[in-house]
Each structure stands twice: as structure tokens, then as C-alpha cells.
Amino acid sequence: MADEKAGRSVPKPSVYVDTAPFWEGAKAGKLVLQFCKDTKQFQHYPRPVSIYTGSRNLEWRQVSGKGTIYACTVIRVPGPGLEGRLPLSVATVLLDEGVRILGNILNVDPGAVAIGKRVELTWDRLSDEVQYPAFQLV
């Protein structure tokens, strides 16, 4: 298992906007996403402003990690960072809080993943210190 993960690169946080709450949340096992306080809507990936209003009246809130598969595919060809991960199940998940997020569906035969299936949060370990949100079928 350790060998399989050797090729995973660990992203540097906050390279384009401040994403520290996402990474700190992940460290604590919580999925924390950006939230527009004016419209009471989440947005993901994080932005410099609210995509609804253009204001910076944003905060970070924890979400349940429960959701439904909106779209799904299985990556089958090698590429950077994919070593030891193929076939790799990828889905767009619609979280119950009303925000879509890309994530891997772990611990499952990719053939069992389908649009409409319920998922819950799990964690993909990128390194000894860093874990990344992923999902598994409920």
C-alpha cells in the first residue's frame, strides 16, 4: 500500500486563493467548503469572490459529505499521479448541501458506481500527514 501511494503528489495549499480552512479541515477529518454568506450557498472549487454576488463576504463551513453521484467515469489510461490507481473511479458528487465536488469513489468495483447512487465521505491518504476527501458508496 505504501508503495502504491509513493507517486502521489501533495498539493501546496493556498496557491491561488486562501484555502487553508479546506486543508485544516481535511487534517481533522472534516470536509470544509466555501460558503457565500449573502446568498447562503456553497461554492466549490474555492474562489476569490462569491460567484453569486461578486462580494468577498465568504466563509468556510463544514458539510456532511453525504451526497448523490451526479456524473461518473473510470479513468483507464496512465498519467502523472495515476500510478497504481487504475482503473480509477471519478465522480461529480452533488452534496446534500447543494454543491458539486469532484472526487474518487474508493473501495468499490468501478462497475458498481452509477449516477443517482448515494455516497458518503471517506479519505484518500496522499502522504503520512495529508489526506484528501473522497467518497464511497453507502
Partner 1 sequence: MTRTKRDVVIAGYSETAIDFKTGRSAYDLGGEAFAKLLAATGIAKDAIDGLSVTAPLSECPNPFFAVYMTEALGMTPTWLNYGGTGGCSATGGVARAASAIRDGHCEVAVVLSADAPSTAWRANYGAYRSEFQDPPGVQGPPATFGLLMSRYDHRFGIKPEALGKIAITQRQHALHNENAYAKFKTPITMADYEKSRVIADPLRLLDCVMFCDGANAFLVTTEERARGLGITKMVYPTAYAEVTNFNGNQPLAEITETGFSQVAPRVYKQSGLTPKDIRMFQPYDDFTIAVMMKFEDFGFCKRGQGSDFTLDTDLSYKGALPLNTGGGQISAGQPGLASGGLNLAEAVRQMFGEGGGRQVASPNNALVTGIGVIPYARNWGISAAMILEA
137 binds partner 1 (CB under 8 A): no
Of the residues 63, 119, 121, 134, which one makes contact with partner 1 according to CB under 8 A: 134
Identify the three-state secondary structure at position 27: helix
Touching partner 1, residues 100-119 (CB under 8 A): 100-104, 110, 115-116
Touching partner 1, residues 10-69 (CB under 8 A): 11-13, 15-16, 19, 22, 43-46, 51-52
Cα dihedral 69, 74, 80, 84, rounded to 10, equals 110
Residue 110 has φ and ψ, to the nearest 5°, of -50, -30
Q: Please report, for the chain, how many H helices and E strands are present, in that order.
A: 2, 8
Closest separation in Å from C-beta 9 to partner 1: 7
Query: Do the beta carbons of residue 57 and residue 49 sit within 8 Å?
Result: no
Closest separation in Å from C-beta 81 to partner 1: 6
Q: How far is CA 134 from the centre of its chain?
A: 6
Binding region for partner 1 (CB under 8 A): 9, 11-13, 15-16, 19, 22, 43-46, 51-52, 70-77, 79-82, 85, 88, 90-92, 94, 98-104, 110, 115-116, 124, 126, 132, 134
